[in-house]
Amino acid sequence: MKQLIVSSLLMCALGLHAQDEWLLYPGGATESNQIEAAEEHQRSDFVINITKPRMYYYPAAVNPTGTAVVICPGGGYRGIAVEKEGIEIARWFNSKGVSAFVLYYRMPNRHYEIPVKDALTAIERVRKQSRQLGLNKKRIGIMGFSAGGHLASTAGTQFTSAGNRPDFMILGYPVISMKGGITHAGSRSLLLGNAPDTTLIQRFSSEDRITRRTPPAFLFHARDDKAVPVENSRLFVEALKRNKVEGELQEFEKGGHGFGMRPTNPETDRWPLLLESWMKKQKLMK
């Protein structure tokens, strides 16, 4: 009985723990994406019809560095590949002393302001509770894959305050531009609609939103990606450099799209090691 009490007290002292659910808006969001269908797992890895924005907390497993990453899984703005581009990534970060939050952001359903609001709210929530969690409020970044990479790059270029500005970005085979000929058409349609005007296209083309306040970024992309052309990542890094912001792009000859962290080929299997090296240079890992 005594041991049970001690364990309970320890859990209370630690507060949030692995896979705790954080609702982004405990009182409910003020706007709706107007998706009426129930949230659904189409398969074990893919969740659609997300209307309840939330994130799940995965604390660092060993040698905590104080760094944290909000992870935005991809899915073409239709859903999220939560295992391959969320949980598996979080667990890798945990093994490196980095805490992670897997974000279930709302699907836009052509309400383009909704996903970025969720991403920025997630950053702000983590920063506000950083002391309680033993995190460094100046080492809170965002990561995204594919359309989730577009969301992460939007958060990194359209933050509205110091509180919701990510300190770094990690973008895996990201959609960056909304411009014809380079964008991912399905992601653009679900975010902006079928016929967005020029102003809206430019607003959500992240390569056009970079300033000297944009946080540093690490990107990786395969040259044979037929879903999201590698030019997306190239444009982003070129714009970072023009604005004297640290940016690194790792290109792989082969790999296609959507490889996550699962073994696919010797080239793309290297990106976690390359990311680890970059994060150490940025003093985000030990």
d(CA 112, CA 117): 9
**Cα separation, 169 vs 127, whole angstroms:** 15
DSSP letters for 126-168: HHHTHHHHT--TT-EEEEEETHHHHHHHHHHHS--SSTT--S-
**Of all residues in the chain, what percent are helix, strand and coil, respectively (each to 5)?**
35, 20, 45
Question: What tokens does 33 get?
Answer: 């994406």
The backbone torsions φ and ψ at residue 151, rounded to the nearest 5 degrees and listed phi first, read -60, -45
Q: What is the pLDDT of residue 3?
A: 38
Distance of CA 285 to the CA centre of its chain: 18
Which of 63, 138, 66, 154 lies closest to 103 in space, CA to CA? 154
Q: CA-CA distance, 118 to 5, in Å (whole number)?
A: 37
pLDDT at res. 6: 36
**Where is 185: in which H helix or E strand?**
helix 185-192
Region of 92 on the Ramachandran plot (φ > 0 left; ψ -120 to 50 alpha; else beta): alpha
CATH fit for domain 21-281, picks 3.50.90.10, 3.40.50.1820, 1.10.150.120, 3.10.20.30: 3.40.50.1820
Q: What is the domain partition of the chain in residue ranges?
A: 21-281
The pair of three-digit structure tokens given for residue 10, joined into one six-digit string = 């320890």
Task: Check residue 76 and give left, alpha or beta (phi > 0: left; psi -120 to 50: alpha).
Answer: left
What are the angstrom distances between the C-alpha of 126 and each of 10, 217, 220?
22, 19, 25
187/138 Cα distance (integer angstroms)? 31
Q: By the 8 A CB rule, do 170 and 246 touch?
A: no
| 170 within 8 A of 140, measured Cβ to Cβ | no
Distance, CA of 49 to chain centre: 18
Digit-by-digit pLDDT tens for the chain (286 residues) are: 443 333 333 333 334 445 799 999 999 999 999 999 999 999 878 999 999 999 999 999 889 999 999 999 999 999 999 999 999 999 999 999 999 999 999 999 999 999 999 999 999 999 999 999 999 999 999 999 999 999 999 999 999 999 999 999 999 999 999 999 999 999 999 999 999 999 999 999 999 999 999 999 999 999 999 999 999 999 999 999 999 999 999 999 999 999 999 998 999 999 999 999 999 999 999 9
Question: Residue type at 283?
Answer: K
Give the Cα separation of 152 and 70 in Å (integer).
9
- The helix (run of H) or strand (run of E) holding residue 84 is none
Task: State the pLDDT at residue 18.
Answer: 52
Q: How many CA atoms are closer than 13 Å to the CA of 36, on its beta-carbon side?
A: 0
Based on its alpha-carbon atoms, the radius of gyration of the chain, rounded to whole angstroms, reads: 18
Reported as type and span, the H/E element at residue 90 is helix 88-95
